[in-house]
Amino acid sequence: MQRKLPIVVIAGQGNAISPSKLPHVYNVLDWFHVTDVWAEKSGPKKVINWRVRLEKIKIIEKSWWAVKGSPASPQESTAGSQKADVGTCTDCGTSSKVKYNAGWACLEPGCDSFFKFKNEHNDTTLDYDDKYMKERTSYGGLDPGSLSPPLPTDQDASDMEAYGFEKALKRGIVCPKCNCCSRRIVWDHWYCENSDCDFTYTLKQRPISPDDVIVKAMEYFETNKRPTSKQSMLGEMDKEFAIGGVLRTHKIHGPWNINEYAIPDEAGKIIGFVRHFKSNGIINQQKDGPNDLFEQMQTGGFALRRSPARQAGAVGEILTSHFAANFGAPYKFSVKQVSRGFDQAPEVIFKTIKRLSWAGQVAVGNEHKPFQSFNECLAIGYFEGSVINYHDDGEKTLGPTVATLSLGAPARMMFRPKAKSAIGKLVAKARTTKPPVLQITLSHGDIVVMDGEKIQKLYEVSHAAYQDWNISSVLTVKQHAVTPWGFRYALTCRQIIGEKMDTEEERQAAFLEGTLPPGSDKYNYTGDLGATEVVQPTSEVDKINNEIAARMMTGSLTASQISLLKDKLEGLLACNHTGSQQTIMDLSRDIAMPDTH
Ligand SMILES: O=C(O)CCC(=O)C(=O)O
Ligand SMILES: [Fe+2]
């Protein structure tokens, strides 16, 4: 009160003293200021409760929650026009306002006369005095400005050098049309969550290269790490481990490095593998390789969206931190995803499926029976700061092999035994969790294949055995979590077993939507065996820069000629001259024959 701070009041839907029925679960009323704070002795136990009286700062303006048809401006709006009566305590000498209909009482908790009224009263008659209620107090603090934050503009995004996936842009907005607070639910725009309002808002998202995304990820890491931490992102990326009986071996397959982690059950028997295919510059830069896929993901229009992670539709609904879209056979993944059949999938999804099918085949081979091809692909997008917490991919309709392609910023992936499994020990302080046994770093282009060995055999034995083992082998025993260090995509392919679906309709959908179109074979991936570095052809601009550099070294151009040429070159590049090819050629000639000018 003394600091004259403006306060926002939010009223719940069930608020009984609101003059009108409040429309939302949480209703942001307006800016208020505190006019009085006092102690009261009330309730059955006659304990001291502190009371606060607030007045709306812009009381002259009609409140949005006012009863329909009420006057545009409340009558009692002028400060000082109404004054509460004041009484003084004969015991302690303090004065206070007459606040209650029951009359005046001393409001000094330390005084013997505290809360003693002349007349008998009970708590139910302790209504507030009308004069006190109508008192108006001038507000001496600063104008708090608009209650709703302004919409971020393209200019704001450009000022913060944003690409459109920054943490600040994942915040919700206040609809300028109807004032409804709306969350960022879809990847590329906001829409008003009030079903009666049609407001949508889009902020341009600029494509970013894999190199720049890593630079941004490092900046994000530096600005968001604990102030006491000396770690760099590169240092964190090196912190990989396999403990608790998880065994690591290493293989080379063409240009791929593959770390293989054998996952034991409680008896130490190997029940599955996590295979980490580590990509590199050569793989990443091939045609339709991870660099191209990263670009295509950004321009593909995937309608990635956040789904309710908890209490869908309820007051406490919580959305997933990441955005997702499913293609192929419908897949539930804890919560139902919006799913589109492969007939509606963009090309990049087929390229991904073929790449991951290759990895699945290499990882699983024909050890037990031929590798079952994938019929589903879940695309996940992470804004800066988004994560996927510990979960398992253990749907009963799921085949044993799950493969994920990482694109963009690096990420930490962790596996831990479930608390209820007999593997590992519970964390002493948090008795419901176990520490991770496997931690790996997923970089741009990497692939992870999770596979439950011998599951095929057990799966065929009986349904009960399947339920026990299912991925009681890898996936349900080993929960996993992924924390990306910046803007990232993860594309995960699974085998959805249509026959295990509950209804005929679901079985049909899995079959129809999960069948790859015949033309998709043209995207087959064969592992980049024998691939070499792709040498980028030198551009005209590079050639000129090289010429300038060479002539600088031989001294055949004067310093002023060099700076003139550099200026010209920069000018051409800056205006992105469409005819620049020809002009640059002329410029090149200028350099070749400097003496003729
Ligand atoms: O982001 C990732 O790499 C993994 C995503 C994942 O765990 C999933 O889709 O189930
Ligand atoms: Fe997962």
Residues 487 and 571 in one domain: no
Residues 224 and 97 in one domain: no
The CA–CA distances, whole Å, from 481 to 137, 414, 441, 475 equal 54, 5, 12, 12
Answer positive or negative: Cα dihedral of 322, 325, 329, 332. Answer: positive
Chain centre to alpha carbon of residue 37: 41
Closest CA to 261 of 288, 240, 235: 240
The predicted pLDDT at position 469 comes to 28
- CB-based contact 410:214 (threshold 8 Å): yes
> What stretches of 13-145 adopt beta strand conformation (E)?
26-42, 47-56, 86-88, 95-97
For residues 173 and 374, give the distance between their C-alpha atoms in angstroms, rounded to a whole number.
39
Residues 345 and 450 in one domain: yes
Residues 381 and 435 in one domain: yes
Neighbours of 161 (CB within 10 A): 10
Task: Answer yes or no: is 382 a known binding residue.
Answer: yes
User: How does pLDDT run along the chain (597 residues), one tens digit per residue?
Assistant: 778 899 999 999 888 888 888 888 889 999 999 999 999 887 777 888 899 999 999 888 888 888 888 887 765 666 667 789 999 999 999 999 999 988 899 999 999 999 988 877 776 667 898 899 889 888 989 999 888 889 999 999 999 999 999 999 999 999 999 989 999 999 999 999 999 999 999 999 999 999 999 999 999 999 988 888 888 899 989 999 998 888 899 999 999 999 999 888 878 888 888 999 999 999 999 999 999 999 999 998 788 999 988 777 777 788 999 999 999 998 865 556 678 999 999 999 999 999 999 999 999 876 556 777 899 999 999 999 998 888 777 677 888 889 999 999 999 998 888 877 766 676 666 566 778 888 999 999 999 998 874 322 221 211 222 222 233 333 444 578 888 999 999 999 999 888 888 889 888 888 888 999 989 999 999 999 988 888 776 777 777 778 788 887 888 878 888 888 777 777 777 665 555 555 666 666 666 565 544
144 is a domain residue: no
Measured in angstroms, how far is the CA atom of residue 408 from the centroid of ligand 2?
18
Neighbours of ion ligand 2 (CB under 5 A): 393
530 is a domain residue: no
First-last CA distance in the chain: 77
Tell me, what CATH number does 259's domain have?
Answer: 2.60.120.590
Ligand (nearest to CA of 378)? 1
Ligand (nearest to CA of 326)? 1
149 is a domain residue: no
ipTM above 0.95, yes or no: yes
For 499, the 3-state DSSP assignment is helix
Residues 442 and 503 in one domain: yes
Q: What residues flank ligand 1, with Cβ below 6 Å?
A: 378, 380, 388, 393, 404, 406, 442, 480, 482, 490, 492
For a substitution probing ligand 1, which of 482, 493, 496 has the most ligand atoms within 8 Å of its CB? Answer: 482
Element (H, E) at 217: helix 210-224
Residues 329 and 457 in one domain: yes
141 is a domain residue: no
Residues 480 and 584 in one domain: no
Q: CA dihedral in degrees (288, 165, 192, 146; nearest 10)?
A: -160
Q: Which residues contact 106 (CB under 8 A, 6 or more apart)?
A: 89, 91, 92, 94, 96, 113, 114, 115, 116
Residues 322 and 462 in one domain: yes
For 116-160, what is the HEC assignment? CCCCCCCHHHCCECHHHHHCCCCCCCCCCCCCCCCCCCHHHHHHC
- CB-based contact 9:29 (threshold 8 Å): yes
Neighbours of 162 (CB within 10 A): 20
The predicted pLDDT at position 596 comes to 46
Q: Which residues contact 190 (CB under 8 A, 6 or more apart)?
A: 172, 173, 182, 184, 200, 201, 202
Residues 491 and 589 in one domain: no
Domains identified in the chain, total number: 4
- CB-based contact 352:491 (threshold 8 Å): yes
Measured in angstroms, how far is the CA atom of residue 252 from the centroid of ligand 1?
24
For residues 290 and 275, give the distance between their C-alpha atoms in angstroms, rounded to a whole number.
18
The predicted pLDDT at position 459 comes to 18
Residues 249 and 190 in one domain: no
Range 39-46 contact pairs with CB under 8 angstroms and sequence separation of 24 or more: 39/107, 39/109, 39/114, 39/115, 40/107, 40/115, 40/126, 41/114, 41/115, 42/123, 42/126, 43/123
Chain centre to alpha carbon of residue 318: 12
585 is a domain residue: yes
Helix and strand counts by DSSP (H, E) for the chain: 13, 25
Neighbours of 445 (CB within 10 A): 26
Residues 129 and 179 in one domain: no
Domain that holds residue 92: 7-134
CA nearest ligand 1 atom 1, residue: 490
Closest CA to 496 of 336, 345, 333, 274: 333
Measured in angstroms, how far is the CA atom of residue 167 from the centroid of ligand 1?
20
The predicted pLDDT at position 29 comes to 93
CA nearest ligand 1 atom 3, residue: 490
Closest CA to 59 of 68, 72, 50: 72
271 is a domain residue: yes
Measured in angstroms, how far is the CA atom of residue 402 from the centroid of ligand 2?
8
433 is a domain residue: yes
> What stretches of 208-269 adopt beta strand conformation (E)?
241-242, 247-253, 256-264
CA nearest ligand 1 atom 5, residue: 490
Residues 172 and 119 in one domain: no
Measured in angstroms, how far is the CA atom of residue 480 from the centroid of ligand 2?
6
338 is a domain residue: yes
